[in-house]
Every structure is written in structure tokens, then in C-alpha cells.
Structure 1
Amino acid sequence: MTNATLARPGFLQSKIGGLPPAFWALWTGTLVNRVGMMVQPFIGVYLTQMRGMSYSGAGTVMAVFGVGSLLSQIIAGWLADRFGRRITLTGGMVATAFIMVALGYSASLPAIVATMFLLGLSMDLYRPASNALVADLIPPQDRPRAYGLIFWALNLGFAVAMVAGGWLAQVGYGWMFGVNAVTSLIFGLLVWRAVPETLPAPGSRPRGRFADVLGDRLMVAFSLITVVSTVAYTQAFTTLPLAMTHAGFTTVDYGLVIAVNGVLIVIVQPLTGAWFGGRDHTTVLAAGSAVIGVGFALTAFVSDLTGYAASVVLWTAGEIVTAGIPGAIVAALAPPHLRGRYAGMYGLAWSGGALLAPLLGAGLLEVNPAALWLTIGAVDLVAAAGLLALGPALRRRTASVPR
């Protein structure tokens, strides 16, 4: 990509042009919130180092967070379709800010477990509402690009958060909880002020139920494959920090290594997203999942920061390939009046994977680190095979949706 290419007016227009101001308000809030999202990636290290828990104990507490997140997707999908996308997102972020502060002050095991559950319940309420907002605001042909831009904002913020979070963990974990709370509050208030409600008035839309989503066998199958791939992917943020500290590295080391993920996505994804978005979605997802699996498997054979960084580069390449594609598939499958619930079903799959990930990862880490990463690589290859098998049905279902 030359400087002349970047300077052409049509280049930037093709990447970011034509999207409404409300979308950019959502994008900005997502970026701010992600910059402050430091607690979740370091929570395992916090629980083991500051609260004296074992790896399996920390994994169990993180799984409690996953249970809350799991339930939140069903609740948020219903709230977004029943009361509105804006109030669901804002309410979830405001609640997250207060619960984050409470978690920072929790010292006893019962208090930590309770606040972790409530944090999981509140922190992920925004996901179905945000995904439904994008589907409401953006026409089908631009959705892969819009979801890709949201993905890009998440990772731009993530690159900052991991470096800052690793440093703040050395200074004092209380700072991480405070910053995370403030950015959550900013996200919620920005959406409340700058994003209009996109849910049609009650009398102008059909009634729907979550059972309608469960009756969509194609959506259920896609969600189950998402669970499998998420179990693998979220090891980077649940088990990898434990594995690195177990091997003698510091939280700053983990922050620097994992920041490679965000930096690469920030640089590369805007240049490739439109091309991958125009390809067959299930084939792209399958290829990306396979590359992610190989990247995680490589972690079994590394022992220094350069090796860890190389494995991150590889699975990040797979992540870049898939950016924005799952959201576009879900939006294409969902009837307009069920977009919140369909997004909730997809979020439920993600949260299900996040729930299983620390249980599987922490358990395998205690047995053998190499077995952990080879198993995770195999899990992602299974997900890739499942997507290829589902491809013909997804293509038939979404053939009428313009791209």
C-alpha cells in the first residue's frame, strides 16, 4: 500500500465513509470503554497474587464471572428488543462502573464471588444492544465494514489497555479498577446522549420470543460452533497470563506480548477488512479459525518473549481474517424485530465459551502447559471443520442479503 494510494480520497471513503454519526458515537464509546478494560485480562493474576488463590481456584472464580456473562446475554437480548438498545447499553455500563469499584474493595471469598458474578452480568449487557444497533443503523452491504470498524476500535483500545494495565498492576491494582469504572461510565453516558433509539415503537413491530431464536436450527448450529472457537480464543486473556507468570514472566511482560495482538489489528485490519468482507463468510471464518488454532498450538513450543510474541502474531493473523464477519452473519440471519435476541444468542455462545475456557485452561495448565496449547489448537481446528460443514446452509439462507 503506497502513500499515494492512502492519499486518494476514495481510499478513506471506502474504509470509513458513508456511516451515520450515531454509529461513530457508538464507535467512540466502544473505543473509550476498551481503553479502560484492564481488569478482566489481569483478574487471574490479581486473584492468585493479591488474594492468594490457586490456579484452579482463580479459574473457578473466573468461571463465576462467565456464568453472569452467560445469563446477561439472554437478559440483554430481551431488554434490547423489549425496551430499547440505548437504555440497555447505558444501564449495563453504569452498573458495571459501580460493580467494578465494589470488586476492587472486595477482600473475602464470598464478596469476590458475588461481585464477579454481578460484574459478568453487567459488563456484557452492552454486547447484544451494540450489535443490534449496528444492524439497525447500517444497511446490509456495509455491515461487514461497520462490524469490522467496531472490532478495530476494540483492539485499538485493547493495545493501550494491555500495556497500561500491566504497568498499573505493578503500581497498584486499585488504579485498574478505578480506570475501568470511569471508562465504562463514559461509554454509557455517551451512547445515552448521542445515539438515538432505533427500536421501532411497540405497535409497529411483531412480538418475538427467545424461543423463536432457539427454533432457528441454523443459528443454533452457528452458535454452537462459536462456543467451540471461543473456548480456544479466550485462552489468550484467561490462561495465557497465568501460563506466562507460571513460567517466570511478569504482568508487564504479558501486557507487552499481548499488545502485539492489538497493534497488528490496528495496523493491518483496516487494509484487509473490505477484501475479506467481500468473500464467502463461512470460508473466511473457517480459514481464520484454523490459523488461530495453529498459532495457539505454537505456544507449546516457546520459552521466551520472542516466541510468545511470534505465536501471538500468528493467531492474530487469523483474527484479522475473521474481523466483522460473525456480526454480519448474525445480522443477516436475524429478523429485524429479533435482532437483540439473535445478538444475545451469539453473545450467549461467546459467554459459554468464556465460561468453559478458564475451567479447561487452568486445569490443563496444572497438568502440563504444552498439553494445554496443543489441545487448544485442536479445538480451533474442530471449529473450522464445523464452519465448512455449515457453509452451504448459511450461503442458501443469506443469499438474498446484499453485500
Structure 2
Amino acid sequence: MVNNYLTNFKGFSKEIWILTFITFLNRAGTMVIPFLSKYMKENLSFSYSQIGWIMFFFGVGSIIGSWLSGKLSDKIGFYKVMVFSLFTSGLIFIVLQYLTSFESLCIGILILTSVADMYRPAMLLALDTYESKETKTRALTLTRIAINTGFLIGPALGGLIIMKIGYSGLFWVDGLTCILAISIFSIMIKEKKLPFKLKKIKSDTNSNKIIFNDKPFLLHLVITMATGILFFQMFTTLPLYYKEQFNFTEFETGLLLSFSGLILILFELPIVRFVEEKNIDRIKVISLGILSMSISLLLMLFSNWSGVLILMVCFMSIGVMLTFPFANSFAMSRVHMNLKGRYIAIFTMSYSFAHILSAKMSMTIIEAYSYQANWIFMGTLGTVALILCYYLSIMLKKERKSIELKIKNSLFTEKKFS
């Protein structure tokens, strides 16, 4: 059983293992994010509306960073983008602790996420460059395991740091681990140059036309954004809910997030390998994941029993394992060779939009109505995403039939004139 599990980790290049390690280091160090809404509520005494606006700027910065990453990666390469992103965001994290007014924190968060979120599209391009086609989805999952391992350690450690030192300790740890991670990356991995130059598409108009004419890709972006809205509840509304409904400490909140990380570490890669080996339809897998995430948030309606939080984390973790890896691989499968950076940037921007909507919508609903209204809204959103998955599967079947027909017509025409 152990040997079968370990075979999931075989066949990766040295560069992928190093990328995985620095991703783990970066994720483990990013302790501020799970406690950000709690920090603003309890330490800075911000209202729900103000927290919603700051998280809105968090998402806007993420969109800007993803877009810049795509543009710059296509022009100067992913390597330089990754180095700039992690080193600079490390410095900004350290400065962020000194911004305590609403206006300054809005600007600080906007700048931070604009720089920090340049990393993810560039990192996905690095995976695409350093790994073979056969192991690409597993490589994506391996880096997600690194994120989840950091997710396992980071929140619990972050909760302890808050209790012993205070929030200032978190900002220092976040900043220094970013700088340490990119230092290791730049020493261990050298920039990889292509042996030839790809013929570039001449204008942005043509490149935009290619991307925005890809209707399955665009519909997939909407579905991805919906799943992101559901998932980001873990970092926006739920930490506040744990405190207000169950009187949880920061450490207890961190332990719940760590439990989710443990589930993902143990089961995500075997699940991905099983789906790939059995060649199960990816859209069906994503649909099952969305259903699980929706159930997890609807379980929050049963707020009289703290044990429901364990069930919620289990269902949310299952949903994440069934959606995120295959959403990534689906997006990578649609990219145009000359536009990899922009495709990946637009894909990651869907999560950025999700972060904006998840925080702002939820805080508005909670302030105007209640937490229960927010959980019902999230369950409804999950149902809409499931319907869109059904339409996407129909769209992909029509696309495959159209391609097969064109191939047959082409062969028939060649035979006729030979």
C-alpha cells in the first residue's frame, strides 16, 4: 500500500522537485492570509463593509498581477517574473504590518497582491517548461501537494505565532520565507532558454481573438470562478464565523485549516492518478467536486453542533481535490503555443475575480442578512456551476465531433484528388 502510494511521486525532473520545495516554503510562510479578515476585525476594529472592501482590493491586485505575469512571461520569460514577484512581495509583507488605517491598507494590499500574484502564472509556465506531457497533470498536483503541506503547517504555526508574539511576527515570517524561497530557486535552477524562437502572433487584437473565440475555455473560466468563490469562503467568512459562532481561538482555526491540508496531502495525488489511469471524464470529476463543495457550505446551516465543522472541512477538501487539479490541466490543454502566458494568466485571473466576489458578496450578505443567508447563497451558486458543467460537456462533445468531421472530410478530399 505504501509502495503504491510512493509510485505517485516517481518520474519527475529535478527542476520540478525544486519548484515543489520552494512552493511549499512559500505557502508555509504565507500565514497572514488565513487570518487577514480576523486581524482586520479584531486588531484594527474594521467593519464587515471595510473588510469586504480590503478583500476587494486583494482580488483586484490579484487580477492585475495575473495579467502582468502573462504579458511579461511571454516577453521576458517566466523565470525573471518569478524572481521579481517573490523577492518584492517578501519586502512588501514586512512593510504591510505598519499600515493600520483603512486607506493605507487598501493601497498596501492592492500593491502586495499585484506583485505576489505574478508568481502563480509564471510558476505554471515553469511546470509546463520543465515537465513532460505525460507527467504534467501529476506535476501540477505535486506542486498542489506542496501548497497543501504548507497549508497543513502554516495556519497552525501561524496561530501559535499570533498567540505568543502577535500579528507582527506573521508579517515578518511571510516576508522572510518569500525571500528565502526565491533565493533557493535562483541558486538551484538556471533560466531555461528555448533552442528556437516561436513565431509570434503580430498583434494583440489577433491574440485576443484567438483566446476569446475559445468558447469552452471561456465557459470553463466561469465555472472556475464559481468554484473559487466557494473555496475562498475558507479564508474570508469562515474564520470570522468560527470565532463568532463557536468562539474558536486562532490556533483552533489554524488546526481546522491544517486538517484540510492533511486530507489533501494524503489523497489528492492518488485520486488524480486514478482518474488519469481510468481516463475518467474530467468535467464529470469537476462536477462531483463542485457538488461536494456546495454540500460543505450548506452544512454550515447546522450551527448548533461544532462537530459539523469537521464534516464541512472533509467535504470541502474532497471538492478541492476533484476540481482544482483538473481545472488547471483543462486550461493547460486549451493553450495556443504562442500564447501560453496569456492563457494561463486569464485562467488564474478567474480565481482573482473569485476572491473579489467571494469576500465582497459574502460580507455584504452577512451584514445585511446573516451567515445563514450566505451559506444558502453559496449552495445556490454551486448548483448554477453544476448546470454550467453540463453545458460545457455538451460543448466539448460537439467540438470533438466537428474536429472528427473535418479530419474525415480532409481525408476524403485528399483521396478524391490523388
TM-score (norm 2): 0.89
CA distance in 1 between partners of 2:144 and 2:288 (Å):
18
Which residue identity does 2:281 align to in structure 1? D
1:7 aligns with 2:9: no
1:122 aligns with 2:115: yes
The SS at the match of 2:307 is helix
Report the equivalent of 1:189. Answer: 183
Stretches of structure 2 that go unaligned for 5 or more consecutive residues are: 404-418
CA distance in 2 between partners of 1:96 and 1:250 (Å):
28
State the Cα distance separating 1:70 from its structure 2 match.
1.1
Report the equivalent of 2:224. Answer: 226
C-alpha contact 1:85 1:198 (8 A) present in aligned 2: no
**Deviation digits for residues 54-104 of structure 1 (CA, Å, limit 9, x no counterpart):** 122111111111111111111111111111111111111111111111111
The size of the alignment, in residue pairs, is: 393
The SS at the match of 1:305 is coil
State the Cα distance separating 1:221 from its structure 2 match.
1.6
CA distance in 1 between partners of 2:376 and 2:333 (Å):
34
**Deviation digits for residues 164-219 of structure 1 (CA, Å, limit 9, x no counterpart):** 11222223001111111111112222222233434637843423745142332222
C-alpha contact 1:132 1:339 (8 A) present in aligned 2: yes
**Deviation digits for residues 127-161 of structure 1 (CA, Å, limit 9, x no counterpart):** 11111111222233322211111111111110111
State the Cα distance separating 1:386 from its structure 2 match.
0.9
Report the equivalent of 2:35. Answer: 42
Report the equivalent of 2:366. Answer: 365
Report the equivalent of 1:213. Answer: 211
The SS at the match of 1:105 is coil
The SS at the match of 1:375 is helix
Report the equivalent of 1:237. Answer: 235
Report the equivalent of 2:383. Answer: 381
State the Cα distance separating 1:304 from its structure 2 match.
4.2
CA distance in 2 between partners of 1:303 and 1:325 (Å):
35
**Deviation digits for residues 351-388 of structure 1 (CA, Å, limit 9, x no counterpart):** 00001111111122222111111211221221122122
CA distance in 2 between partners of 1:222 and 1:275 (Å):
23
- Taking a change above 3 Å as real, the CA distance of residues 78 and 202 of structure 1, as seen in their structure-2 partners, is farther
C-alpha contact 1:213 1:345 (8 A) present in aligned 2: no
Which residue identity does 1:6 align to in structure 2? V
Report the equivalent of 2:251. Answer: 252
CA distance in 1 between partners of 2:75 and 2:150 (Å):
31
State the Cα distance separating 1:271 from its structure 2 match.
2.6
CA distance in 1 between partners of 2:160 and 2:306 (Å):
17
State the Cα distance separating 1:228 from its structure 2 match.
1.7
Which residue identity does 1:184 align to in structure 2? C
1:391 aligns with 2:384: no
C-alpha contact 1:63 1:359 (8 A) present in aligned 2: yes
Matches within 5 A, 1:3-402: 5-7=1-3, 12-13=6-7, 15-171=8-164, 172-198=166-192, 200=194, 203-207=197-201, 209=204, 211=208, 212-247=210-245, 248-277=247-276, 278-366=279-367, 367-394=369-396
C-alpha contact 1:297 1:375 (8 A) present in aligned 2: no
CA distance in 2 between partners of 1:50 and 1:205 (Å):
53
Which residue identity does 1:388 align to in structure 2? Y
Q: Which moved more, 1:263-272 or 1:94-103?
A: 263-272
- Taking a change above 3 Å as real, the CA distance of residues 286 and 198 of structure 1, as seen in their structure-2 partners, is farther
CA distance in 1 between partners of 2:176 and 2:196 (Å):
34
Stretches of structure 1 that go unaligned for 5 or more consecutive residues are: none
C-alpha contact 2:226 2:385 (8 A) present in aligned 1: yes
State the Cα distance separating 1:398 from its structure 2 match.
8.1
The SS at the match of 1:234 is helix
State the Cα distance separating 1:396 from its structure 2 match.
6.6
Kindly report the root-mean-square deviation, in angstroms, between the aligned alpha carbons of the 2 structures: 2.0
Which residue identity does 2:391 align to in structure 1? A
Q: Which moved more, 1:223-232 or 1:212-221?
A: 212-221
CA distance in 1 between partners of 2:50 and 2:27 (Å):
27
- Taking a change above 3 Å as real, the CA distance of residues 286 and 380 of structure 1, as seen in their structure-2 partners, is same
C-alpha contact 1:288 1:318 (8 A) present in aligned 2: yes
Which residue identity does 2:75 align to in structure 1? R
- Taking a change above 3 Å as real, the CA distance of residues 334 and 398 of structure 1, as seen in their structure-2 partners, is farther
- Taking a change above 3 Å as real, the CA distance of residues 304 and 177 of structure 1, as seen in their structure-2 partners, is farther
Which residue identity does 2:177 align to in structure 1? T
CA distance in 1 between partners of 2:72 and 2:400 (Å):
26
- Taking a change above 3 Å as real, the CA distance of residues 337 and 303 of structure 1, as seen in their structure-2 partners, is farther
- Taking a change above 3 Å as real, the CA distance of residues 253 and 395 of structure 1, as seen in their structure-2 partners, is farther
- Taking a change above 3 Å as real, the CA distance of residues 61 and 82 of structure 1, as seen in their structure-2 partners, is same
CA distance in 1 between partners of 2:70 and 2:312 (Å):
35
Report sequence identity in percent: 23
State the Cα distance separating 1:322 from its structure 2 match.
2.7
CA distance in 2 between partners of 1:184 and 1:395 (Å):
43
- Taking a change above 3 Å as real, the CA distance of residues 341 and 308 of structure 1, as seen in their structure-2 partners, is same
Which residue identity does 1:19 align to in structure 2? F
CA distance in 2 between partners of 1:207 and 1:199 (Å):
20
